[in-house]
Each structure stands twice: as C-alpha cells, then as structure tokens.
Amino acid sequence: MIHSYTSLARLEAAAGDEAAARQHFKDGHAADPTHVPLLHAWATFELNCDKQSAARRLLTKALELDPSHVPSWMAMGTLEWRQGNPSKAREVFEKGLSVLGPSAPLLSALADLELRQMNIKNARELFFRLRTSTLRHVPSLLLEAKMEHRSGSRSRAQQLYLEAAAAVAAGVVCGSEGRLLQTSSPATGVAPVTFPGVLRDLAVAVRQQQGWQQQQQGREGEWRGEDQQQTRAEGSHGGAVAVAAVLHACAQMLLVEGDLARAEELLLAVEAVESNNGHMCHTRGLLCQREGNLAAAEQWFRRGLDCRTSRDGGLLCYEGLAELLAFQGRKEEARAAWQEGAVAVQPPTSRFLRQAALFEKKERNWAAAAALFADAVRRDPQDYRSWLQWGVFESRQRNWEAAERCFQRGTSVAPGYPYLWLAYVSSLVAQRRISDARVVLRTATHHCPRHAQLWMEWALMEAAAGNADMARQLFGKGAEVPPNYQHEPLYQAWAAFEAGMGNGDVAAQLMQRAEQVAQAHTARRLAVENKTVDGSSIGSTMNAAAGTHGGDGRVSGKPFGSV
C-alpha cells in the first residue's frame, strides 16, 4: 500500500509537479511513519529539488529507524559530497560500513566518487576492500575495469571484464551485491576463459536462458503465486540489465582501441538483449555521425530516449540528439531537446547541464549559459569539468573575479587535472598578473609534475618576462618527464627560444629531439593498432565484409577513436 504513495509521487515529480509529489510523500508518511524506503525516496526527491536540509532530515530519520538501510547511507554520503564536503562524505560511508560490515554497494559508490575527483589511489584501495567482501559485484567490476583501461592497463581491464561476464553468466544480476538471484540455465554453467569470445557466448546464453525461463514460467504459471512470478521476472530483468552493461562496456573499450569487428559483435548482442538500451543507442548514433549518415544517427538517438533502465543512458541520447540538431543548424529543435531532456529524465546530470550550457554559449545566450553552468555545479560541486568550462566562459566575458572563483573551486576539487591549472594561468596572464600566475604554476607543477605542457607554459611566461635562465631551467624540467608524457611542442618552443637567443646549434638539436618524440608517439600508436589488428583475427566470427555495414550505426572499417 505504501509503495503506491511513492509511485504516485514519482509520477508527479516526473511530470514536474513538485507540490503534488511532495503531498503524496506526506500522505504516505502519515499512513506509515516508520516506512524507511518511503523516507529514502522522499529524501532523494528533496535532494533533486535542492532541498538539502529537508533531505538530510529525512535521511537521518530513515537511518534512526533502520541503521542497516544501505540506500539511505549511500544517499547521505552523496548529500555530503554534493555539498562540497568530500571528507565528511567519506566519514558517512565509513560509518555505514562500520554498521553494516563490508557492503559492495557502499564501497562501489564511494569508489565512484573518488574516481570523479581523480583520486585513483583511494579508488584502488576501495576496490581492494571490495574484493574481500565479494568478487562478483558487477557495477564495481565494470567501474574498476574502466579505471584500469584509462590508466593503460589493458590486460587488467580485460580480466575484470571477464570476471563481470562470469558473474552475469553465473546468474548475478545488478543490485544483488554479488549474490546469485537467478537460476542459471545449463548454457551458462561454464565459466568463461577467453576475451571476447566469452562475451559472445554470454549473449547467446542469456537469450537461451530467457527462452528457458519463459518455458518454465509457462509450465509453472498455473500454480506459482503472483509475487513469486514477479520476483522471477525482476530477476530476469536485472540479468538483462547486467548483461547489457557488461557487453556495452567491453564494446566501448574495443572501439577506443579500434577493434571494430569485435565491438560490432558486442553491440549487436546488447541490441538483442535490450533494443533501446540508452548507452548502445548513443554509441550507434555517434558511429552513424562518424559515417556521415545523420538521418540514421537521429533515429538511434531518438530510440534511446525511451530507455528506462539507465538515467545516464537516456540523457546521453538527449545530449546526442541536441548536438546533432545543432550541427545541422536546427537550433530551436536543439534547444527544445535540451529542455525536454532536463524534464524527462530526473534529475539531469551535471554533464548534461554543462553540455546544454556550452550550447547556449555557442549561441551567445550568455545569461542562459551562466545559469546552466551554475545548475551543473550545484548538481555536483565536485564536477571539475563544469568548473573548468564555467571559468573559461567567465574569462572570455572578462568577468575575472567570477572566473577565478571557478578555477579555485575546480583546482581544489581536482588538483591533479592539469587543464584547470592551464586555464587558470591563462586567465591570470591575460590580466598581466604575472606574479600570481607564477604562484599558481608552482602549485600546478607540484600536483602535476609529469605534465610537460605546464612546464612549457611556465617557461614561456618567464622567457617573455626576460628571465632567460629561469625559462631554460623550466624547459629542462619539462623535458625530464617520462617517455609517455613527452610533449613535442615543448622542444619546438624551447628551440625557438634558443634560436632567439642566438644558440642555433642548440636549437637544431632540440628540433631533432622534437622529431624523435613525435616518432616515438607514432610508433607507440602503431604498436597498439597492430596488436589490435592481430588480436581481431583470432577467434572472431565476424564476416570479412564487416567493414561494409556503415551507415546505420553498425561498425564500418573506419577508425572510431573514442566514444
């Protein structure tokens, strides 16, 4: 009965009627003041409405009634994080863990927040703790795999994707904390051992399992109760969601690496499991744009608007559609898509609001852009990319104080993100605040010592100020970074500096070094591509004509780059 109040409240909230939604929550609470899931849902609603005091009060009450309610601990930690208190958020999560013991959802949620701040070390420690409690928590396996792939650990990422696939094949569904909620069919009983053949096998096995479950439900439907049938259906749905998440994450990795044939197999498998999966539709739409088939891209994005299994997936499709329409010059339709997405998928993410702000910025709607940037950082004060874009926006408006506030907030959130420091320094130099820029660069290179461009910009600033010895020393610091971080423009700028100082021989040597760095980067890129090509020929079942399916979002032979 109480669930009906929550459902009605969510319907009203989705329709944009906050007052009606709040009244349903109040009515439900009056009917049962001890119903913790309703209190949690109400708190989440208030948090999405920026009523943070109300959300805190409701979550406190929920945890008093049931200290073991995991979603309320997660929401309370997220509340602290959104208020810009990451240390307090960590305390909340740790307190929840002390009450509950090892909890996969809590550890995974905290690891996700740490990764958003680029705290890789903290995230790794949390993933290690997670493995002591469960080896089969699908969301955390995917999150860790993505982290490892971005860090360059391809083999480790593959192993984690395999573990996620094995968990799903064994019957683990999303939201189960790694427990088996499904009965595996005979087809899913063999643990996977190869990548990505296991992923194809997984997709086939799940489709077989769905047919097997339907047969079982048909045989047992005469005597199985309604609640039992609902539980079985929810388990099957959760399994499909988990399968789609695993397959799409692996497809993303393969697309980034240029392994197009295998990525296509996995995208087809996602489509078979969930035809309007938002992440898959967004990826398909981007592929169509890459091929130049804008009509097909629009169809894929619009298909994904109906995704109900992933808020982020649905918002990505609204984002893709709006940007496609803007690219085609259909500006009012694009603006309508941004506005519709912000209402249809609640709550919108900071990324979605940031991208909408960038659209308004391009259209020179300064007030609308500023309001959307403010909404983005209010939605997630730890979103350093939004602080960066807002700071750049204010700098170009010559609102220097506002820009500096943005850069200071951004660098406090993510001191290891070099592009915030670069934008901050650029703003200070534009104001001729060289001494302040020098202080910022000293801090920046402390936090990002391997980012050669920071050393280069500092060297160029000192050279322009007439500090030749200091400039030469800073160029040298930038040249000392590890091979993977070498920056060809640094040597070119250093060569130009030395040439201007009359040191032609030194300049020539530096230009040779710049060429060597460029060749090394090219060699590394080709090695990755060759490795991918060699691997694609082993065990792939794609037809040799797989590169001819372009135009409808199926993968063609063109490199995709990144998704």
Q: Rounded to two decimals, what is the model's pTM?
A: 0.76
Whole-number average pLDDT of the chain: 83
**HSE of 34 in the Cβ direction (CA atoms, 13 Å)?**
3
String of b and e for 220-244 (b: at least 16 CB within 10 Å)?
A: eeeeeeeeeeeebeebbebbbbbbb
pLDDT value of position 233? 40
The average pLDDT across 455-465 equals: 96
Specify the 3-state DSSP secondary structure of 190.
coil
**Rounded to whole angstroms, what are the CA distances from 65 to 92, 226, 357?**
17, 30, 41
Dihedrals phi, psi of 183, to nearest 5 degrees? -90, 115
> By C-alpha distance, which of 94, 133, 134, 131 is closest to 110?
94
User: Under a CB-based contact definition with an 8 Å cutoff, are residues 304 and 282 in contact?
Assistant: yes
- Taking residue 289's Cβ as centre, other Cβ atoms within 10 Å add up to 20
Q: Give the tens place of pLDDT for each residue, 270-321.
A: 888 888 999 999 999 999 999 899 999 999 999 999 887 888 999 999 999 9
Residue 230, pLDDT above cutoff 60: no
**Annotated domain spans of the chain:** 134-219+226-274, 449-536
* More confident call, 349 vs 82: 349
Q: How far apart are CA 425 and CA 448, in angstroms?
A: 14
Compute φ and ψ for 46, nearest 5 degrees: -65, -35
142 phi, psi to nearest 5 deg = -65, -40
Q: Which CATH number fits domain 449-536: 1.10.150, 1.25.40, 1.10.8, 1.10.10?
A: 1.25.40
**Distance separating alpha carbons of residues 260 and 547, to the nearest angstrom:** 8
pLDDT, tens digit, 9 for 90 and up, residues 173-202 = 555 454 444 444 433 333 333 455 556 666
State how far the alpha carbon of 48 is from the alpha carbons of 52, 100, 113, 126, 241, in Å.
9, 26, 18, 27, 24
SS3 13: helix
Contact yes or no for 60/67 (Cβ under 8 A): no
Write out the DSSP string of 206-255: HHHHHHHHHHHHHHHTTTS-HHHHHHHHHHHHHHHHHHHHHHHHHHHHHH
